[in-house]
Amino acid sequence: MAKPAVLTHPESLKRPAGPSDYAKDPVNASMSKAEKIALYTKMARIRHFEQRCIRIYQQGKIGGFLHLYVGQEAVAAGTISLLGKHDHIITGYRDHGHGLMVGMGMNECMAELTGRVTGCSQGKGGSMHYFAPDKNYWGGHGIVGGQAPLGTGLAYAVKYMGLKGSCLAYMGDGAVNQGAVHEAYNLAALWDLPMIFVIENNGYSMGTSQERSTAHPGCLAKRAEGYDMAWDVINGHDVYEVRAKTALALKRAHEESKPTVLEIFTYRYFGHSMADPDKTYRDKEEIKEYREKKDPVLAFEQELLREKVLTPELSQEINDAAMAEADKAAVFADESPDPTVADITKHIYWEEDNRGPDTTSRGTIIFE
């Protein structure tokens, strides 16, 4: 058994979840009751969607890889809940939570997992490749760290067009050792781009703990100093803290056009993917500790109960509805048709899908 990772957690992460230190932060205090309930509802929806996915995967209906977001909900929920019209996001392959947060429907998300033509990418992307550009969500990327330069390009485009916006590029803790991430850091800092790199630090790059993968594992965000970028560490189990600290980074992006690296400590309850039996690199006690004492969805529920925003009955209602929605999505995904053989060769080139007298392409582009 490998030693568990040694992490430099923010103070609040070292104790079991309790009243948030950030409830009175202006960005949270200014939320209406309805907004708070909506945020909790979104977190619950991610939780129940992912748990429904496990059952479908176990039934053999989801192929390939399935990387679950259970345990990390407050990261996507907290950050994305702050975004405006010109703020964009892009992430790696653990991308379901972000999709649901930007407003993708459970049906299209579930149907993508089962490879149906009704899926968000018409069954061509799969679990790792969700996209919703109409909602400023640019994927869903399979290669660790490969999305970081793309995100930097989104931030570049926002700045080029003179818009007050930003891009949040999410990645796992394993991505910080990829060259592409460092190249993106350099460009974002060099060109003063409105960029927020969000390291979702769940402690393990697949099955390798930080101390076995990363030089100076205590604080990954600190690498930002090498690029003269601002950075912060966040307790990712407290959605209020995520919002409070992300809001500062967003302000820096919007008002100063400066990048930030945020390291958000979080935890995944399941293996790296469903293909990971999760038996070799961490012990059950560690998982139990997080589930019982620091769960981000439960913690926010408790917070809202204390604030008397939620009642146990309303919470039950919200969770029942999310479960029912996930059940319905599972049926939808099951009953939807597959793409056809003819669909295999669509959506490869814009110019082919829109070929006309004015398009710049002729000749054969798909070969027998």
Partner 1 sequence: MAVISYREALRAAMREELKRDDKVVIMGEEVAQFNGAYKVTEGLLKEFGPKRVVDTPISEAGFIGLGIGASMLGIRPVMELMFWSFSYVAFDQIVNNAGNIRYMSGGLINCPIVIRGPANGGTNVGATHSHTPEAILASHPGIKVVCPATPYDAKGLLKAAIRDNDPVYVMENTILYNDKGEVPDEDYIVPLGVADVKREGIDLTIVAHGRAVITSLKAAEILEQEHGVSVEVVDLRSIRPLDEETILASVRKTHRALLVEENKPFCGVDAQVAYLIQSKAFDELDAPIHRVSSIDAPQIYCKRMEDQQLPDVNRVVREALKVLA
**Residues in touch with partner 1 (CB under 8 A):** 88, 90, 119-125, 129, 131-134, 138-143, 146, 148-154, 156-158, 160-161, 167, 179-180, 183-184, 186-187, 190, 346-351, 353-354, 360-368
- Smallest gap from residue 107 Cβ to partner 1 (A): 15
Q: Decide: helix, strand or coil at residue 158.
A: helix
**Are the C-beta atoms of residues 352 and 343 closer than 8 Å to each other?**
no
As measured in angstroms, the least distance from the Cβ of 156 to partner 1 is: 5
Beta bridge partners of residue 198, listed in sequence order: 170, 262
Nearer CB in complex with partner 1: 88/243: 88
Query: What's 6's DSSP letter?
Result: P
Long-range contacts of 36-39 (CB under 8 A, 24+ apart): 36/304, 36/307, 36/309, 37/304, 37/309, 37/310, 37/314, 37/318, 39/77, 39/81, 39/239, 39/300
Question: Closer to partner 1 at the Cβ: 70 or 253?
Answer: 253
Question: Which C-beta is closer to partner 1: that of 27 or that of 193?
Answer: 193
Q: Which is nearer to partner 1, 157 or 287 (CB)?
A: 157
**Closest CB to partner 1 among 36 and 258?**
258
Query: Cβ of residue 150: shortest distance to partner 1, in angstroms?
Result: 4
Q: Which neighbouring-strand residues pair with 234?
A: 264
Q: Which is nearer to partner 1, 41 or 186 (CB)?
A: 186
Q: How far apart are CA 190 and CA 225, in angstroms?
A: 13
Shortest Å, Cβ 78 to partner 1: 24
Strand partners, 130: none
Closest contact distance (angstroms) between CB of 148 and partner 1 is 7
The CB-of-127 to partner 1 minimum distance in angstroms stands at: 11
- d(CA 227, CA 182) in angstroms, rounded, equals 9
Other Cβ atoms within 10 Å of 285 Cβ, number: 8
